[in-house]
Amino acid sequence: MAHLYEVYKYRIKYVRLQWCRQELKIIHSKLKKKYSINDIGCNYFQLYKEIKIKKKKNKIDYYGLDKDIKAVKIGLKYFPELKKKFKICNLEKYRPDKKDVGIISAFLEHSDNPKKILENILYSSKKFVIIRTFLGKKNSCKIFFNKNKFPFKVKIREFSFKYLEKILKENNFKVTKIKDKATKNSKTYPVNLDKKFKRRMYIIFGEKLSS
């Protein structure tokens, strides 16, 4: 897995991620004043990196959550101002403090209990939630093991839009499906671990309705 962290180190220095720009643009179109974010699965703070580049630090109260301390430490070398703005936790068991916006990108599909993570995110999101994940015709889960790339088995899920929509609506969120620009408007492409397994990435935007 060492090479994965080398990828993180390269990206944090040289790469701006398209999904970060797209999701921040969505939020900024909705919220004009200062707001707070829970970045679920914050990794090495790639979303915060875009916030800082866009000079939105004063507008956004950022907080990151992840269970991968190695990735977080890579981010802290570049963003030491976040040393009190993150938590290492199991997101299937931990319910974050409430923030205006909850964001989770490319994380839900690898979890053991995605429904529990969703419930925790929806509970802690006061205004909006953004979920970037794989959508297919039905819920499915495959486990891959390629020891040349990862020293452990990798779980990859796909969700049906109706399944995610139902959970969000049950938690009083209005739901919109948006094409993901980072994958060329949700174009089908093969997963790295198995070229026969193809996926499509979408963004699910949820707006909390007044109760």
pLDDT of residue 194: 63
Structural domain including 126 reads: 2-208
Q: Can you list the positions of beta strands (E) in the chain?
A: 35-40, 60-66, 86-88, 99-105, 125-136, 140-144, 154-160, 173-179, 189-191, 194-199, 201-208
Q: What is the pLDDT of residues 115-130, one digit of tens each?
A: 999 999 999 999 999 9
- pTM for the complete prediction? 0.93
Q: What is the pLDDT of residues 136-154, one digit of tens each?
A: 999 999 887 766 666 567 7
More confident residue, 88 or 150: 88
Neighbouring C-beta atoms of residue 63, cutoff 10 Å: 20
Q: One-letter amino acid identity for 156?
A: I
Distance (Å, rounded) from C-alpha 39 to C-alpha 48?
A: 9
DSSP reduced 3-state for 191: strand
pLDDT of residue 146: 66
CATH of the domain at 43: 3.40.50.150
Alpha-carbon distance values, 117 to 39, 60, 81, 102, 109 (Å): 13, 23, 27, 11, 11
pLDDT of residue 1: 47
How many domains are there within the chain?
A: 1
